[in-house]
Structure 1
């Protein structure tokens, strides 16, 4: 018998609107932002500016769909709780008083006071849980496949970013090998064929070890060090979140300030084109990836104290983040003659355009920026891997019978969680390709298609159970089905354009 919904102690887990604003900013601004200056340089500053604003707008629209679907999931569970309460009370009238005394902890207080509101955000519903409520078996399988592919891409990007950052800090930087290659030729080679020119160079003059070998050694060490943590249950803490926020704000502000300083002192060195349609794959992939927060949104919304402000908080976040991305990318593409696909690599201590050799303080800053992906992504890698492991188990195993499976079966999924990202990044370190595939395919599914399907089926289900007279106070401002069709059309167009340009 369904016993109702246990309401969490809100005061012990809630946080203010400002803290919620910071946490949402932290979850959105990540590795994707570090690839934006590179794709701005490839796609052209004007085209990138317009497309990034459109991507931010569409992403915000689908965020409001997730909020509405989460409120709909709460409404369905609350409706089930109320029906179970009424059934039990009617079938056991003589024990009615005893029932109210013993069940008070498992029944929402609003039900007891008969002032019940169905649509709430008090109970956290992850995307997978909402998929189980609103989708059929085929829809749930497609959801988990899309989510798993995205997580695999996430881990691949994290592994490559960490290994490349450490490799480029440890290895000597010799410009002589590229002295006969112009910046424009080097940019074209990297855009079309990856970074093979860097891979074949020696890491140190005294040793005949290529940069590719050093990259792979670091990748193996990183995977062996952090991979086994997937066997454990690791949860994010509030203090870890706050520390990560400080590191990210500091790093991005320093990059913007250094680029502005270079523009003021040295003048414009980069001369990017205004429009280059051949850069659309990287632009869409990095843009979609840079605004991704939908998979973590339910965990961030549930503890917010004033949940009626959720959409407004997210709108402020998106405006700030979009402006932040544009400033970061525009200053970078005009300050540097060539922009690396991982922007922090432009701030290596021995970079040709840097004056950090003349100041120990600036050397420390350059090392901090160069190692920034290592610090932040290393702490997130085990958490993403654990999430991937859990989703793989949910898709392929009956979790109610989990303890009956052999140790070999249970150990298989943690191993699979780290094996595929390792194999992918062992053979390629090209972050542009990884971001394009992850953002433009799996990212489009999670950020566009899944929220549209969730909000549509939540509206249908809630209308059937509750009727149309009860209003969802968390409904999206984009209520018309035309918005749903427009988002789906945008996602199809995005995948089509990216696929055409990518295969060409």
Structure 2
């Protein structure tokens, strides 16, 4: 398998994560037709902005390479004129200025000028193309998203542990009943209530994994392979079990065509589930041959769409909408769904398997500040659907739509000014017309307005 295929496998694994486990309930809440349409449309929009980021990466590489070439040319000229007097230096400087546009035209014709060889992260691209205010807004958005992302993981693991252990120690030794809704005030271990057990697990989870934010975690290749393997085993088991349940006529799901009240959470879940733009520089830069990069990224998105659709549709027709849990794996922790105890515990505890956050850990400056806010949020709530929905709807909208749109628009202007109108970006997005930039920004604003209005209306009804 070549480096390009490996990179796209990593992208697939990056996109398909915790968000996929919260998607079935969101599908059931919004209706299967609305969910299918929104999933396809948001997948398409994510692909558009992915091509924007790739184009901005190429433009950033071209400008860095061009500055190095100019610096090298200036150093050569300075060395050759070191013996000249001050009048000669002024004349030479003038002559170099006159000659530079001619040299620039020659260099701009180089097909390798826009080759993506340097890893230019989104923060560096923001510094290159955004104003100071834009850079500050970028970092504010990325910080909110990362805090939300960590809060989701911090809540998902203890919640799954609490659900499995409380059911295993209660009257139902087989596990969580699919149609049972528990409250945090229900008893779990003796006098301890479910909410108390959740916070105990959260404290243990924080003490065990929190210290890793203080170190530079490297050489995680085998851990990544193990985690990916368990992830795909779990997803495959859930899809097969749901299909078997439906094939045997035991499917209980009768999802509606549309229910607009569930669109808010579905939107946030789908945006979060397609999030990869912030990690593209690390994923795609090491790829040696990028000739067919856009086509293979499109293939990746098609496969992800098919996977999300298969997972969600088997779920909503296998289980009743009101019985689907926030974490889909927990629906398989009961005897009537899975008779093998090992499989029940494997799926129930799946979110707690080893996971690493190299992108975050590599850049934390104040580990304590990084660790405390998401843990505090997780202590306050374990409503995973809301956490994923809000994180995706707000911070996710900024990272997936707004930032790539402004990046590609400003990098095009900057490239034309620095390299001239003849400079042709070999990694230019297929959606290179300015209309697409405006369309993405209009869509992002519409989503922000819709989600905010929906939240206000929901609170008013309560």
Fold-level similarity (TM above 0.5): yes
CA distance in 1, matches of 2:232, 2:293: 22
Cα contact 1:70–1:130 (8 A) shared by 2: yes
Cα contact 1:151–1:388 (8 A) shared by 2: no
Cα contact 2:265–2:390 (8 A) shared by 1: no
Partner of 1:118: 113
Cα contact 1:336–1:353 (8 A) shared by 2: no
2:188 partner SS: strand
Q: Could you tell me how far 1:94 is from its partner in structure 2?
A: 8.5
Gaps of 5+ in 2: 83-105, 173-177
Partner of 1:380: 356
CA distance in 2, matches of 1:120, 1:479: 18
Q: Could you tell me how far 1:385 is from its partner in structure 2?
A: 4.8
Cα contact 2:45–2:440 (8 A) shared by 1: yes
1:66 aligns with 2:53: yes
> Pick from 67, 82, 90: which aligns with 1:80?
67
Partner of 2:155: 160
CA distance in 1, matches of 2:256, 2:362: 40
Partner of 1:4: none
Q: Could you tell me how far 1:353 is from its partner in structure 2?
A: 3.4
Task: From the superposition, tell whether residues 164 and 143 of structure 1 become closer, same or farther in structure 2 (CA, over 3 Å).
Answer: same
1:31 aligns with 2:7: no
Partner of 1:340: 325
1:363 aligns with 2:363: no
What TM-score do you get using the length of structure 1 for normalisation? 0.81
1:130 aligns with 2:125: yes
Taking the TM superposition and a 5 Å limit, the aligned residue runs for 1:382-421 are: 383=358, 385-386=360-361, 389-390=364-365, 413-421=366-374
1:435 aligns with 2:388: yes
CA distance in 2, matches of 1:138, 1:94: 41
Cα contact 2:338–2:344 (8 A) shared by 1: no
Q: Could you tell me how far 1:235 is from its partner in structure 2?
A: 3.0
CA distance in 2, matches of 1:15, 1:237: 20
Query: How many aligned positions are there?
Result: 426
Taking the TM superposition and a 5 Å limit, the aligned residue runs for 1:201-240 are: 201-204=186-189, 207-235=190-218, 237-240=220-223
Cα contact 1:150–1:442 (8 A) shared by 2: yes
Q: Could you tell me how far 1:245 is from its partner in structure 2?
A: 2.3
Cα contact 1:341–1:431 (8 A) shared by 2: yes
Partner of 1:473: 426
CA distance in 2, matches of 1:297, 1:385: 14
Cα contact 1:26–1:245 (8 A) shared by 2: yes
Q: Could you tell me how far 1:336 is from its partner in structure 2?
A: 1.4
Q: Could you tell me how far 1:253 is from its partner in structure 2?
A: 1.1
Gaps of 5+ in 1: 1-13, 96-110, 177-181, 187-194, 357-361, 391-412
Q: Could you tell me how far 1:387 is from its partner in structure 2?
A: 5.0
The C-alpha deviation readout for 1:195-250, integer Å capped at 9, x for no partner, is 8x42111114xx12111000000001101111111111113633333333222221
The C-alpha deviation readout for 1:442-484, integer Å capped at 9, x for no partner, is 0000000000011111101110010111210100000111000
Task: From the superposition, tell whether residues 258 and 331 of structure 1 become closer, same or farther in structure 2 (CA, over 3 Å).
Answer: same
Partner of 1:102: none
Partner of 2:89: none
Partner of 1:179: none
> Pick from 3, 9, 22: which aligns with 1:22?
9
Task: From the superposition, tell whether residues 116 and 354 of structure 1 become closer, same or farther in structure 2 (CA, over 3 Å).
Answer: closer
> Pick from 490, 497, 500: which aligns with 2:450?
497
> Pick from 310, 324, 332: which aligns with 2:293?
310
CA distance in 2, matches of 1:290, 1:236: 26
CA distance in 1, matches of 2:220, 2:207: 24
The C-alpha deviation readout for 1:371-412, integer Å capped at 9, x for no partner, is 11111xx4225x36525624xxxxxxxxxxxxxxxxxxxxxx
1:295 partner SS: helix
1:452 aligns with 2:417: no
Partner of 1:249: 232
